[in-house]
Amino acid sequence: MPLRGIGAPTGRTERGRPHRPPAPGTPLTRNGIQEKQDPMRVTHAVPLAPMTTLGIGGPAAALMELHDPADFPEFVALADTLPGAPVCLGEGSNVLVGDAGCDGAVLRMSTKGVRMTGSTADGRVLVEVQAGHLLSDLVDMTIAEGLTGMEMLVGIPGTTGATPVQNVGAYGQETADSLVEVTAWDWESGRMVTLDAAACGLGHRTSVFKRSRRWTLLTLVFALRRSELSAPVGYRPVAAVLDVPVGSRVPLEDVAQAVLTVRRSKGMVLGCSGTDDRSVGSVFLSPEISPAQADGLRARNAPVNHFPDGSVRVSASWLIRQAGFALRSPVVPGVRLSSLHYTLVADEGASAAAFTEAIDIVFRQVLRRTGVRLTSEIDLL
């Protein structure tokens, strides 16, 4: 059954077996009103900067926007005629496009649709989602439907198809907690395959899809549990907003509002600050550290934490602050620290070269001052 009247045709396949996308014919509906699917549009020399949250980068040689999954073979055929490996672009919220742009085919994923497809042996509800569906819309719907497992991801921009790429997570939840499988086009073998969550190689902000052009994700299946209450609140600032002890479970809508409050206080909700909106959120991962480093950093009151993948990591924001960077301070022309959070944002005149230089400056200064190596989590086109 569709969630809240929203449905779209999706294809399923046996693992590793060739798959034909479903024929068109099942329209999207919203609140019972049929929506006409736009045909795939192909345009050339299209600026990519307006399609990213940083607002940086050159044009795409050829841009195709996919609304109907049945049109995907057209993109495959076009990509074979153009130089370079094809790339997929969702909402561009974790992307830095090069100043010269992209000389291959770019697919903007705009497929929409969510439906319940059954349940697991332990009673969780299976939810199938088109890759172009906005993550924020999916999270809102799961909360409205009384499904727990994604409520802490509220306020994160981007498409659902991007979530496995770096195992998107926040405040104690991550994609790996609920992902069951994905359907993807494998450019190496030239066929559609289904990968279960284990085959996706999900780790701390990484997966087999990260920094790889091999796959284009098309549909995803999540398993969520019916409950009026959230997962245990494990993040102290969220618990403080709710005025409950860490570990408490609260109504889904309440925890979502608390998470949004915390994210807005750090400028991590697009459009909330007015001055720091040209951002990709966190530019750097919280780096993994050795036991000796952890002991030394704890002695300096650093936020050192154990992560679900078994690693011990320290806050990248704390390291950047310790390295001498101040909020709002310029790093290179057009790129500065956010006014609310220790991350980089773009201003007027920013370029991809300047943003890359700023990343390198922060990396080198943090390494020199703290001895810890940062890693950028931005996808570079």
- List active site positions: 205, 282, 377
Query: Is there a contact between 105 and 42 (Cβ–Cβ < 8 Å)?
Result: no
The b/e string for 144-156 (b: 16+ C-beta within 10 A; e otherwise) is ebebbbbbbbbbb
Distance from the first to the final alpha carbon of the chain: 38
Query: Is there a contact between 296 and 357 (Cβ–Cβ < 8 Å)?
Result: no
- The tokens for 281 are 């959120």
- The tokens for 86 are 């094809």
Written as one string, the DSSP assignment of 179-197 is EEEEEEEETTTTEEEEEEG
Cβ-proximal residues to 94 (8 Å cutoff; 6+ apart), any chain: 158, 162, 166, 280, 281, 377, 378, 379
Cα–Cα distance for residue pair 233/239, rounded to 1 Å: 6
Query: Is there a contact between 102 and 58 (Cβ–Cβ < 8 Å)?
Result: yes
Cα–Cα distance for residue pair 89/97, rounded to 1 Å: 10
Query: Is there a contact between 161 and 21 (Cβ–Cβ < 8 Å)?
Result: no
